[in-house]
């Protein structure tokens, strides 16, 4: 037999499609599905929260504070601190929405230099001494408290808890499936980034509710951006994180939103209650 | 945060290096394939009668190729939706052709005029375990037929 050498043509066993094209099609397609599934899970958790009676929430997360506000050595004079806490509690009572008396709030003052305030399910608000140092007037402080109260009036803490739980559960199911470890972390990150969007939305909602409570009490919205302006000068944690990776919207965006929604933005500010001032002086000495 | 820097850089370096080595490898494969074209490879088990009074010797070529980060991620995404795993096809193609070439080059060194009974064996080094490096092994072997030296 005769042998005639021939080159086998290319492209029979391999594809000529550019690998980057396949990459972008797959990544965007799968990311879209993850965003959709996460959003559906988050929204359904959100929806179900309204069927949990407020009394149940208050019962589950009753006065047992999960955070020891006097942990380790007390950094401050305990009696001064108790008075400051009382003042803060009174401020909350002044700010509260009269039409919603069923919402209860407690307040805890935390000895920490990191300026922060948060609310946990059951309406327990926590404020750090670092935050108190950053505000100049009672109005500025009231805005922070009103923001946290706004979260509770919309039941954000419980919603976040539910949302976190369903997304964590979904990710556990994914991690049980036999998929590549790289893809698993891709799926996890996409889901977390999606749920951060819901968190940022809640912050803006609480800001708007906060400014409404502030205006109702003082008759004007002066001081609403005081804390955020002060925060801009601080090297606070996460200030260099891009917004899409963050639980909170950018400070500038929040200031703009608050300014846009202040109907009566000028007015006389009230000075900080005396007990809070003495408390701040006492911790400054240490 | 750090994940968001490491992951894309691994992907990009995997893509750049992977594509560079693949192109380079294909250039080498195409050149060597045309250089060795004069020796036919047969899958026949028996030696053709014209070549009965010849030397016969075993020749083998073995190659292991690793997957890069980019290809692996692409294949992982493919595993969710299904379809042609194009990113691995070129890897398997390269490994197979390289193994054959190594075998053939060995046969030419021995003065072979034909290689018969060519067979290919493939195995996966990682055996599909998670978090291990995916790589493919291809072994090509055959009987090199060369004229009597005496």
Choose among B34, B70, B93: nearest Cβ to A14.
Answer: B93
Q: pTM (2 decimals)? A: 0.75
Chain-chain contact of B86 with A19 (C-beta, under 8 angstroms): yes
pLDDT at residue number A99: 85
In chain A, domain spans: 35-52+75-284
Q: What is the mean predicted confidence (pLDDT) over A66-76?
A: 53
Choose among B34, B79, B86: nearest Cβ to A17.
Answer: B86
- Specify the CATH number for the domain of residue B74: 3.30.110.70
Find the range with the poorest average confidence among A25-34, A132-141, B119-128: B119-128
Residues 6+ positions from A251 with CB-CB distance below 8 Å: A228, A231, A232, A239
Chain-chain contact of B4 with A29 (C-beta, under 8 angstroms): no
Q: What is the pLDDT of chain B when averaged over all its residues? A: 89
Residues of B whose CB is below 8 A from A29: 81
Q: What is the mean predicted confidence (pLDDT) over A147-173?
A: 90
Residues of A whose CB is below 8 A from B1: 241, 245
Dig out the tokens for A174 from the structure: 């994914």
The answer, for B40 touching chain A at a CB cutoff of 8 Å, is yes
Domain ranges, residue B111: 2-146
pLDDT digits (tens, 9 = 90+) for A219-269: 888 888 888 888 877 776 556 677 777 888 888 888 888 888 877 767 777
Bigger pLDDT: B36 vs A101: B36
pLDDT at residue number B127: 64
- Are A80 and A269 in contact by the 8 Å Cβ rule? The answer is no
Maximum mean pLDDT: which of A100-109, A212-221, B94-103: B94-103
Q: Is the pLDDT of residue B1 over 70?
A: no
Q: Which residues of B84-115 are buried (b: 16+ CB within 10 A; e: fewer)?
A: ebbbbebbbbbbbbbbbbbbbbbbbeeebbbb
Q: What is the mean predicted confidence (pLDDT) over A108-130?
A: 89
Q: pLDDT exceeding 70 applies to what percent of chain A? A: 91
pLDDT digits (tens, 9 = 90+) for B46-71: 887 877 788 899 999 999 998 888 99
Quote ipTM for the complex.
Answer: 0.80
Residue A285 burial by CB count (10 A; 0-12/13-18/19+): exposed, middle or buried? exposed
- What part of B 11-30 touches A (C-beta under 8 Å)? 15, 19
Confidence of residue B109 (pLDDT cuts 50, 70, 90): very high
Chain-chain contact of A181 with B130 (C-beta, under 8 angstroms): yes
Residues 6+ positions from A95 with CB-CB distance below 8 Å: A142, A145, A146, A149, A213, A214, A217
- Rounded Cα distance, A234 and A227, in Å: 11
Q: Is the pLDDT of residue B80 over 80?
A: yes
Question: Could you tell me which residues of chain A have a Cβ less than 8 Å from any Cβ in chain B?
Answer: 1, 3, 5-7, 13-15, 17, 19-20, 22-23, 26-27, 29-30, 179-183, 185-186, 189, 241, 245
pLDDT at residue number A74: 52
Chain-chain contact of B1 with A245 (C-beta, under 8 angstroms): yes
Find the range with the poorest average confidence among A63-67, A133-137, B39-43: A63-67
């Amino acid at each position: 037999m005769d042998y005639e050498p021939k080159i086998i043509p290319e492209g029979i066993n391999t594809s000529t499609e550019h690998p980057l094209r396949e990459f972008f099609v797959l990544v965007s397609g799968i990311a879209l599905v993850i965003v959709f599934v996460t959003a559906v899970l988050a929204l359904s958790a959100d929806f179900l929260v309204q069927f949990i009676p407020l009394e149940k929430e208050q019962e589950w997360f009753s006065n047992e504070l999960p955070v020891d506000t006097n942990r380790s050595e007390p950094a401050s004079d305990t009696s001064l601190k108790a008075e400051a806490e009382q003042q803060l509690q009174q401020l909350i009572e002044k700010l509260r929405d009269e039409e919603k008396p069923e919402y209860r709030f407690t307040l805890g003052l935390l000895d920490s230099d990191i300026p922060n305030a948060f609310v946990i399910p059951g309406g327990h608000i926590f404020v750090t001494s670092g935050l108190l140092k950053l505000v100049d007037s009672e109005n500025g402080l009231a805005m922070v408290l009103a923001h946290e109260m706004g979260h509770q009036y919309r039941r954000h803490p419980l919603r976040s808890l539910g949302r976190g739980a369903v997304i964590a559960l979904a990710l556990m199911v994914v991690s049980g499936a036999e998929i590549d470890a790289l893809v698993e972390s891709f799926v996890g990150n996409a889901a977390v980034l999606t749920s951060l969007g819901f968190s940022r939305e809640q912050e803006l909602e609480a800001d708007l509710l906060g400014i409404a409570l502030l205006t109702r009490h003082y008759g004007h919205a002066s001081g609403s951006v005081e804390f955020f302006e002060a925060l801009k000068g601080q090297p606070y944690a996460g200030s260099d994180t891009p917004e899409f990776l963050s639980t909170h919207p950018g400070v500038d965006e929040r200031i703009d939103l608050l300014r846009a929604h202040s109907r009566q933005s000028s007015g006389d500010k009230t000075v900080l209650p005396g007990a809070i001032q003495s408390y701040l002086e006492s911790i400054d000495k240490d | 945060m750090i994940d968001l820097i490491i992951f894309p850089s691994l992907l990009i370096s995997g893509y750049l290096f992977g594509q560079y080595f693949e192109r380079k490898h294909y250039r080498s494969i195409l050149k060597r394939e045309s250089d060795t074209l004069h020796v036919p490879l047969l899958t026949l088990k028996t030696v053709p009668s014209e070549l009965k009074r010849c030397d016969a010797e075993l020749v083998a070529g073995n190659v292991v190729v690793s997957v890069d980060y980019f290809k692996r991620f692409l294949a992982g995404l493919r595993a969710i939706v299904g379809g042609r795993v194009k990113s691995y096809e070129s890897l398997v193609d390269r490994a197979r052709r390289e193994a054959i070439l190594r075998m053939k080059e060995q046969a030419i060194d021995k003065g072979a005029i034909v290689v018969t009974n060519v067979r290919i064996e493939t195995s996966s080094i990682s055996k599909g375990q998670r978090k291990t490096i995916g790589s493919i092994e291809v072994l090509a072997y055959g009987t090199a037929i060369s004229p009597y030296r005496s």
